[in-house]
Amino acid sequence: MKIGIFGDSFAIGHEPTKPFHWYNLLAEKLDSKVHTYGMGATSTFYSYKNFMLYHWQYDLNIFLVTSYPRYTKPLYMSFSGPSQNWVSSTNAIEHLRNNFNLSHDDKVQLDMLYGWYVMSDDDFTKLAQGLIVDKILQTRPDTLIIPCFDQDLSLSYETRQKLGITETGNCLTFLQKQYDELGMKDSNSFTERLDAIACHFTKEVSEVFTEAVYNKIKYNTAISCPTRIEHLHEVTHYYDKKL
């Protein structure tokens, strides 16, 4: 079996934690090969375009539906050369303004993008997200849909029921459980350690999330976050405290 993964930063991890990226753990359990098209801070439309190009190559596709308001195009900034920069929110814009040496053109781009976020029509972006998911399921009805953020998922109640999506069956709920278990009252005060966090998850949460996805694939059991996910280490093993 070959598995294709499509999504944002929940679908791509750093090289040092490759052994416990959730999709690699899933491939091991299913005795499969996996390839991810994940890219941090990207939109559902970005993942949709990749899905339409490459889904036919895979026996199983897993599509992570991200936040509906995200801007759909990359920015090219002076500090990153030819690399693409995906800016997912007004908070991300402020982070760039406060932490990078920006050129005049960089500042103009960010000002225009800030205006786009302020003026963007939520009704339109919600509808677009729903239509994208509908098209994915029309194209490949066997695609496993996993929400990244339940509050930013615009699917109807009927569609959620059909897909078996529960209130806790999203990536953010697993991540919030991770924060709770590690006593992180303010997650913004910490930065992820690249050797201990994979796709935002600790090894312990990756294993639990993998098991939930595996059970959904094998037994059609709805994905849901458990009430406890015990960790072997303290928070400092997984995160650095910001100065």
Q: What is the rounded CA–CA span in Å between residue 177 and residue 172?
A: 8
Q: Which of 163, 147, 154, 160 is nearest to 225 (CA)?
A: 147
User: What pLDDT sits at residue 78?
Assistant: 97
pLDDT tens-digit series, residues 6-17: 999 999 999 999
Residue 224 in this model has a pLDDT that exceeds 90: yes
Report in angstroms the alpha-carbon separations of 157 from 98, 121, 167, 235.
40, 22, 11, 37
* Same domain as 190, residue 161: yes
Q: Are residues 179 and 202 in the same domain?
A: yes
**CA proximity to 145, closest of 20, 51, 46:** 51
User: What's the number of domains the chain is made of?
Assistant: 2
pLDDT, tens digit, for every residue of 132-170? 999 999 999 999 999 999 887 888 888 899 999 999 999
Q: Is residue 219 scored above 90 in pLDDT?
A: yes
Same domain, 47 and 156: yes
pLDDT digits (tens, 9 = 90+) for 111-125: 999 999 999 999 999
Q: Are residues 20 and 63 in the same domain?
A: yes
Q: What residue type is 79 in one-letter code?
A: F
Same-domain status, 139 and 46: yes
Are 200 and 98 found together in one domain? no
- Domain final position from 119, 150, 185: 119
Q: Is residue 65 domain-shared with residue 96, that is, in the same domain?
A: no
Domain of residue 176, residue span: 2-69+122-241
Q: What is the pLDDT of residue 57?
A: 98
Same domain, yes or no, for 34 and 129? yes
| Residues 86 and 187 both lie in one domain | no
Q: Are residues 141 and 50 in the same domain?
A: yes
> What pTM does this model have?
0.97
Instruction: Note whether 62 and 141 are same-domain residues.
Output: yes
Mark whether 188 and 141 lie in a shared domain: yes
CATH number at residue 192: 3.40.50
36 vs 189: CA distance, rounded Å: 29
